[in-house]
Amino acid sequence: MWNFCILLTIAVLGTSNAFHLNSTHDNIVEINGCQTLKDEWKCCETSLKIEKFKLTACVDVKLLRKNMGMELSMTINNYTIIDEEISARNPPPICTHVPYIEDLVEACVKFYNMDWENQTLSGCLALEAKLVHLKSLDLKIGCFKFPLTMDEISKRKFFLKKLLDKYNKNLVQVIY
């Protein structure tokens, strides 16, 4: 049953309101723990703890322009539980049985609000867990857009810089 808790925790933590500015690469934008770089969007949570288990869970979506498709992968502790190539226009839900409790829990990644226009693909992901064939939870993970134009990258970095500057200013006022 702990795997079901893992999926629930991944989904909840994936929707947190934490902002991060990743300055190691000029074209990477990181918001809510998710990174966008050109035609790839990745969300990871590295600090999951369930009882004695420390877990890292990641969802990775890559745009495959030649095929007008996407590659979706989901890993837990570097163990791939989903690795599928799907249509970018109308992707189906991708489902898998949860290891160790296959007969009880099935996890599905669902795409919604998909839009392909002017060589730009955008959409959102949700996680659904089914317990013994009953829908038990449906949580939104996040949204993506491929590719990010340099203008969009600049706007997001400017917004995050202002947010961080405001946070740092308030922190200095509290210290003094």
pLDDT at 174: 41
**Residue 45 sits in which domain range?**
2-148
- Does residue 128 belong to any structural domain of this protein? yes
pLDDT at 57: 72
Which DSSP string do the residues of the chain spell out, in sequence order?
Answer: -HHHHHHHHHHHHHT---B----SSTT-EEETTEEEETTEEEEEEEEEEETTEEEEEEEEEEEETTTTEEEEEEEETTEEEEEEEEESSSPPPEEEEPTT-TTTEEEEEEEEEEEEETTEEEEEEEEEEEETTEEEEEEEEEEEEESPPHHHHHHHHHHHHHHHHHHHHHHHHHH-
Q: Looking at the 3D structure of the chain, how many domains does it have? A: 1
pLDDT at 25: 38
pLDDT band for 83, please (50, 70, 90 cuts): very high
- Does residue 170 belong to any structural domain of this protein? no
- Does residue 163 belong to any structural domain of this protein? no
Give residue-wise pLDDT tens across range 25-76. Answer: 344 444 456 777 778 888 776 665 555 656 677 888 888 878 778 898 988 7
pLDDT at 125: 83
Find how far residue 134's CA is from the centre of its chain: 24
Give residue-wise pLDDT tens across range 113-160. Answer: 988 777 778 888 887 777 776 767 677 777 887 765 555 556 555 655
pLDDT at 117: 78
